[in-house]
Amino acid sequence: MKPQLFITILLLMACFNVASADVGAIYNAHIAWKTAFEGVDIAAVETIWSHTADTTLITLDGKQKNGWKEIQATLFLSFQLTGETNISESNLLITLSGNTASATSDYRWSPLPDVPLSATELYRKEDGVWKMIAQDGTGGLEPLRRDDETQLREQVQQTHDALVGADLDALLGLIADDFTYIALNGTVHREFEKAIIGSDLGKIRNLRLKVIYLTDDSATAIDTLTLADDERDIQLVYNTDWKLKTINFAPSSLAVGPNRKIATRWARIKTQTPD
């Protein structure tokens, strides 16, 4: 391998690992917030939130609380009133831009089980740690890229419909020119090979979205795929035009075929996401 190419691959891997680590850290912070809120754990909440003066909490009745001290007092009182609760979440989308991020989702809260709700959270990287700086349980707070989120969600839903419905023509209309397909058996295919993809799609029983990650140069949807005798996480990678660059049905498998080592490494660079 030429030295320049090797250096380029190392730089790509380094840059991707930084972004991967950041979206993973934001996801973990989001889950930690959800867990702390359900378990009325004010001590955990204190480690999740930034303690700066520009933090904001918007309560379910629309009241705005500013600064950590006011937010802490509001959450403490809320926890005393409600006790432990449960949050059922769906459609989580995390957007990362530099040292800021947002997370949007739909949810139902056990004290109001019949009321569909939306939430928006804002995060900022402070001294290398992602901290929550704003939270709105009514969904009124603006995420970083609302229009892009809307388009991306629509594209992911179209992809899901095509995959579950085994609609190869619809799927073909969604893919990018540099499309890569990693089959259920782990083989890498650089073209849209209908026979191979069609065979895999016929085995799908269900597809459930876990999270979508949106960064400056790509987006990745992580789904749980259910087959007749297996369940696994898969990855769908989109470019900035919302065209499907990669379907990875076997993100933990080694590729086989010509130039196996390089193909496997490149597939991992393109499709690696946080655990």
* Domain assignment of residue 102, given as a range: 3-142
pLDDT at 258: 37
Q: End of a domain among 114, 142, 170? A: 142
Which range, of 33-47, 220-234, 257-271, averages the lowest pLDDT?
257-271
Angle made by CA atoms 253, 205, 176, in degrees to the nearest 5: 60
Q: How far apart are alpha carbons 196 and 94 in whole angstroms?
A: 32
Q: Quick one: tokens of 16?
A: 């991707």
pLDDT at 163: 97
Q: Is the pLDDT of residue 7 over 70?
A: no
Q: Is the pLDDT of residue 203 over 60?
A: yes
Q: How far apart are alpha carbons 237 and 156 in whole angstroms?
A: 10
Same structural domain, 53 and 136: yes
> H or E segment at 93?
strand 87-97
Q: Is the pLDDT of residue 17 over 80?
A: no
Dihedral (C-alpha) 133, 137, 138, 143: value to the nearest 10 degrees? 40
The tally of domains found in the chain comes to: 2
Q: What percent of the chain has pLDDT over 90?
A: 81
Q: What is the CATH number of the domain that holds 167?
A: 3.10.450.50
Same structural domain, 192 and 219: yes
Q: Is the pLDDT of residue 125 over 70?
A: yes
Q: Is the pLDDT of residue 4 over 70?
A: no
pLDDT in tens, 157-194: 999 999 999 999 999 999 999 999 999 999 999 999 99
Which range, of 145-159, 167-181, 259-273, averages the lowest pLDDT?
259-273
Instruction: Give the position of tokens 């449960």.
Output: 86
pLDDT at 21: 84
Same structural domain, 20 and 137: yes
> Span 243-269, mean pLDDT?
60
Same structural domain, 183 and 239: yes
Which range, of 11-15, 135-139, 232-236, 270-274, averages the lowest pLDDT?
11-15
Q: How far apart are alpha carbons 132 and 49 in whole angstroms?
A: 5
> Span 50-55, mean pLDDT?
97
Same structural domain, 266 and 166: yes
Is the CB of residue 237 less than 8 Å from the CB of residue 270? yes
pTM (two decimals): 0.83
Q: End of a domain among 109, 142, 175? A: 142
> Span 105-114, mean pLDDT?
95
pLDDT at 19: 59
